[in-house]
Structure 1
């Protein structure tokens, strides 16, 4: 029955994870994707142990583990001095402490695993070309209004439609996202085009004044993901715009030669102007709730955007399964998630300021503090994020 299903606006990682999580609890759903096909734009993403906890709860653990690259460490490099500041060992001690590994994956590969899981499940329906522009609701259900004039009904509506969420606009009624002025450029290159002395099995961050470079292997070591960011005071959002390498390089003329060489190897660069929002309490409007970037968009600096969306999905389904009162279940979901996601939002901004982009004495203080930590101290530092499963 249509009235028994949960409507999900958005067929990205968060929306598909929500559908899978609900299906694991016996709850049917309909995923409404605005694009003409289900797919994911972007290249690599990092997955902490909390992501793997979610994969198991979503029923896609083996498939997700099969497409991941398991890196040995997180490395922080000084982009001015061309030397390592510190690293975090991701080996046996890390895995034992947090119950799962740390890995990197191609965003499209991860989306594909979730999409196949949805296609294989009888309780999940998928509809593309179906942008949710708004909703009406009463005490019996929700009607989602679609851009081409159609309307679909369900028991509830989950807004998993990203940074520019139409559902959020009606739930929260807030201003547009905060434009950070930081622009990120992405490229994926064949492994043989990466400098041989930098083909590390690590997620590597080169931190410099108002800029940074990240690289790591993907897709079974067939390619390297390159992500570079600098402050260019971009005034408005941009997503996926092709740019020449010259535009990318001009933000890195002050860093060491080896770091600059990484950029020269990049091909087919595309740019994104980074945006986020302040944490808010209003995630719920009756039978409507927000999830992922629609609820708590964050900067990339903690590599937790996809992980937080998947945690949301599992927590949502768990909360709804424990009560017959739908609105109470949505409120419980919000209450269980809001402080954790707000912490990641605000710490992601702080990481950009104090780890990724400082200069002068600020950078020297970063180097001194981070290089002084032992591996056990790093594990203690990360315990709040990885120590539990993020879902309890």
Structure 2
């Protein structure tokens, strides 16, 4: 079996470690923070994410901590009219063989961490910030910022948006600011009036902004997030902002949406960033995973799910493999995953601009399209994401084709990159 080094002890890194350990391998996780924890608010997990969690052995533990919402609702932010509602019980569960839930980030991270700590083959090293790596024909050596060296048979860069492994492997510079700022807050449910405690993910789509809210933490908190298309270019992460600043940015939204936002006191803001899709996820014995490979905007609610899919596919390909097979199997992992994940990146970009923030004629066109869709139509549009069973390839990406055209393919297996600002994958 192989000894795998994993850079990053977040959701993707722990999922990768667990997947490799379940395949018989020894894993050393190198995490830059001194404490293994996860910060942030809510994560939405669709059936494809739960299927991946089941294959990692932690699905029941995450389900037990989640709020199993009844529907996804897209509302006209100005009028309050329901534009589209996707029921998430009954036919949805039957069709996609699983439910949809929202969880706190810690409620997803905790079971992954517990499973890794219980696995004898997994070693968790904190305070180990990966700075660089070198590889030879039969091994990889990682060097940390404090001068330590770790040797293994392969390296998986699961070190997030600012991945040091990606910087070496791809070299595409800093993340790309989207021009959208998101403000997040949690509200104790005791402060939420009964008539606002909806068991749905509700999104109020307005001109250049949207508000989304849903219950998390077993229904103990309401997660509230306001996203504004403000052209922001400064890379901000988790900066506290005054409540008045956020409430001033609710212009044009329905009074009920404004009432939901007014429940929150402690707000923080982030400038949303992603990167252009690339197919250069691997180099010999080194591979990328999760946000290091395909960081995406939150609009498709698939960031965590795609990282979990990566881990399951990589673990399955490397199951019981020896060191000599690593380069070829990592290339197979790249071929299996890059198109599906890249399509999801592009979909997330387009959903923000075309579904959540349009105005004028574009908004009217969106409204007419959504009103024309039946429940069956909505299920068909999400099937390629939510209903995936093997996590490879783009799937029947009907919604992707509608918004951004069919996913591109690489002729002859050549690497594919995205042209900046094009919204399409290109060589």
TM-score (norm 1): 0.97
2:379 equivalent in structure 1: 379
1:110 equivalent in structure 2: 108
Query: 164, 169, 172: which one pairs with 2:170?
Result: 172
Partners in 1 of 2:218 and 2:294 — Cα distance? Answer: 32
2:344 equivalent in structure 1: 344
Deviation of 1:315 after TM superposition, in Å, equals: 0.5
1:362 equivalent in structure 2: 362
TM-score (norm 2): 0.89
Partners in 1 of 2:34 and 2:12 — Cα distance? Answer: 18
Contact 1:75 1:203 in 2 (8 A): yes
String of CA shifts for 1:193-230, please: whole Å, max 9, x gaps.
Answer: 22432211001111001100110011111111011100
String of CA shifts for 1:325-355, please: whole Å, max 9, x gaps.
Answer: 1000000000000110010000100101111
Deviation of 1:322 after TM superposition, in Å, equals: 6.7
1:72 equivalent in structure 2: 70
2:253 equivalent in structure 1: 255
1:214 equivalent in structure 2: 212
1:391 equivalent in structure 2: 391
- How is 1:273-312 mapped onto 2 (pairs within 5 angstroms)? 273-312=271-310
Partners in 1 of 2:4 and 2:281 — Cα distance? Answer: 16
Partners in 2 of 1:344 and 1:322 — Cα distance? Answer: 30
Partners in 1 of 2:248 and 2:204 — Cα distance? Answer: 16
Partners in 1 of 2:379 and 2:139 — Cα distance? Answer: 46
Partners in 2 of 1:157 and 1:390 — Cα distance? Answer: 24
Contact 1:68 1:103 in 2 (8 A): yes
- How is 1:110-149 mapped onto 2 (pairs within 5 angstroms)? 110-149=108-147
2:10 equivalent in structure 1: 12
Query: 86, 91, 94: which one pairs with 1:93?
Result: 91
2:407 equivalent in structure 1: none
Partners in 2 of 1:195 and 1:345 — Cα distance? Answer: 36
Contact 2:77 2:252 in 1 (8 A): no
Partners in 2 of 1:47 and 1:299 — Cα distance? Answer: 15
Deviation of 1:127 after TM superposition, in Å, equals: 0.6
String of CA shifts for 1:57-84, please: whole Å, max 9, x gaps.
Answer: 1011221111111000001111111221
Partners in 2 of 1:109 and 1:102 — Cα distance? Answer: 15
Contact 2:24 2:320 in 1 (8 A): no
Aligned length: 390
1:330 equivalent in structure 2: 330
**Which ranges of structure 1 fall in alignment gaps of 5 or more residues?**
none
Partners in 2 of 1:86 and 1:231 — Cα distance? Answer: 22
1:196 equivalent in structure 2: 194
**Which ranges of structure 2 fall in alignment gaps of 5 or more residues?**
393-427
State yes or no: 1:227 paired with 2:235.
Answer: no
String of CA shifts for 1:153-183, please: whole Å, max 9, x gaps.
Answer: 1111000000000000000011211111100
Deviation of 1:386 after TM superposition, in Å, equals: 2.0
